[in-house]
Chains A and B, each alone.
Chain A
Amino acid sequence: MPRQWIGILRKRTEVGAAVVTILLVIGFTATTEGVWLSNANMREVLRVTSILAMMAFGEALVITTGQIDVSVGSIFGVVGILFLALGPQIGAPLAILIALVAAIAIGAVNGFIVAYFRISPLVVTLGTLFVFRGLAIGATQNPPYYAADNTMRANPIYQIFGSSDVFGYNNALVWAIVTLLFLHYVLFWTPIGNRLLAVGGNAESARSRGVSIMYTKWGAYVACGFFAGLAGILETSDLGYVDGSFGRQRELQAIAAAVLGGCALAGGRSSIVGTFLGAFILSGIQSYLVINSIPPQWFILLLGLIVVLVSLGNRVLTHLLTRLARAEKTKD
């Protein structure tokens, strides 16, 4: 394999996701007589992609530091409920603000327990997954759901958060693209990103250079909470109602999108662009199943398989490419 190729494959972890995306677009379009790629279908696929990507971006930051947050589905749900429960009383702008502060607070709690007490992130966030799911269900007993009223819907701030269109596409896409550009910049062009990657790659080495492992991990969780909450608002704003099951099983989708996008679960390797493509692949598959009248339950099976197989593949490929690159170095 030419040396440049090895270099590109090693450094650009999203190459795999890009290739899969192209293959799926061609395959899905061909086998649905173009329905999958039709404008109407793409509008929905891109909206779903954007909201999933928003969650997955936060997840990707946490995964970059070598941690995991499996509670994002519940954060998504609780924040959506808070938004629509408060909105009719205090108005959309203030409800959004409070909901986002709550999202940051939840992320901060997750991060503090994981980073300060150094407890397994899987256990901690599995716990908070259930805590906030429990709260979501508890808050939707009576009434069983919350809905946006007409005053709220008419508020332009409400509409900017996921329920109006830009060039025919739901504006969640704009949110996702702006976030993508911003996080790509933060992760690869700033000292903060350098430290997130370093902590994920080798925490003790980062610490020996004076990087705070605790604050770095904590910050990733805070961002993760924020973006999961923002995704919840974008989705509830579009749907206009929310119940206790809102956001269930989204956590695995967010993790799958990040892993598909080339984020190594061990940390230190990550791609924001890839994470977006990962979200697109998952949304695309979901839509393809719907078009072909395949029961959506099968998507869960597929999702589980994707997470396991792709993380395995990532790992094998990384080892192989590192070996090849090392060999190239010693050859001449």
Chain B
Amino acid sequence: MAETRNALIEMKNINLDFGTVNALSDVSVNFYQGELVGLVGDNGAGKTTLIRILSGMYAPTSGEVYFDGQRITRFHPKLAIDLGIETIQQTVGLCDNLSIARNYYLGREPVKRWLGIIPVLDFAKMRESSNKVIRNFGLRDTVNVDDEVALLSGGEGQSFKIGRAVDFRNRVIIMDEPTNHLSVRERAHVNELALQLRDQGLLVIYITHDIFQVHRLADRIVILENGRKVVDILKAEMSAEALEQIIRDGGREASEGTA
């Protein structure tokens, strides 16, 4: 089914070396619009490295990346954002020292002109947009948009990042371990948001090492191991237990099976 559609993101034979370390070897994977893909693997398997290519933080050493059929040749966070690819990472994305309103449009700040010439940050717009997001995405009522991000809880920070990504009408949301360090209730909230985004027709790439959690959410599961893709299946094809066994075995069985 999926194969007959055009992939939104197509990664072909991706290699990425850090000096002598081979972080990704010959990874080919497609991502389609409107699906939630669980990208799973043990620590150091290359999950984060792979999505950092999509978010423009790293450029592949070799291989090809296509977005919506267009070959991507330059990798920069700004370009990824312009294409509508938003990456939500646990530790990155918000500056603690800035207010919610200032964080909201960081990097693409709205500007109005005083007396028609002097450019000034459009604080009214910054406050209004960010206020809408923090009210819709379940932050505490005591939080307001002029508060610094340092005052938010971990879950509130994540919710705000997701809300911002949604509000910017992105096409791809990459969630990198989005529920680490969150309370049970916050975790359920974030997972619920991931499903909502998928239902709105976005491509959601959900990275985790918790196969059981993502098996419940995802349409498709991709497993990386030692920088190689070892599994790429629709969820229905394999149980979470079987997938976990593959990860435990270091992906050996699966790669031998497909080789």
**A contact set with B: CB distance below 8 Å:** 10, 185, 189-191, 194-195, 197-198, 200-202, 204-212, 268-269, 322, 325-326, 328-330, 332
Contacts and interface: CB of A to CB of B under 8 A. Distances in A.
B120 A190 contact: yes
A202 B97 CA distance: 8
Dominant secondary structure of chain B at its interface with chain A: loop
A222 B89 CA distance: 32
A205 B120 contact: no
A189 B120 contact: yes
B111 interface: yes
A268 B111 contact: no
B161 to A, nearest CB: 10
A330 B151 CA distance: 10
Given A211-B106, A329-B143, A205 B95 contact: yes
A190 B78 contact: no
Main secondary structure of the interface of A (DSSP, over half): helix
B107 interface: yes
Nearest to B79: A210
17 contacts: A10-B148, A191-B119, A191-B121, A195-B106, A197-B97, A198-B95, A198-B106, A201-B95, A205-B92, A205-B94, A205-B95, A206-B106, A208-B92, A268-B96, A268-B98, A322-B150, A322-B151
A194 B148 contact: no
Contacts of A205: 92-95, 106
Given A189-B120, A326-B151, A329-B140, A208 B93 contact: yes
Contacts of A190: 111, 119-121
Nearest to B55: A208
B97 A210 contact: no
Contact of A197 (B77, B81, B98, B119): B98
Contact of B77 (A198, A202, A210): A210
A325 B57 CA distance: 34
A209 B93 contact: yes
B151 A195 contact: no
Interface centre among A208, A210, A325, A326, by most chain B C-beta atoms within 10 angstroms, is: A208
A211 B98 CA distance: 15
B150 to A, nearest CB: 6
B119 A206 contact: no
B87 interface: yes
Contact of A208 (B87, B97, B108): B87
Given A194-B121, A208-B55, A326-B150, 16 more contacts: A185-B120, A190-B120, A197-B95, A197-B97, A197-B98, A202-B94, A205-B93, A206-B95, A209-B81, A210-B78, A211-B107, A322-B151, A325-B147, A329-B147, A329-B151, A330-B142
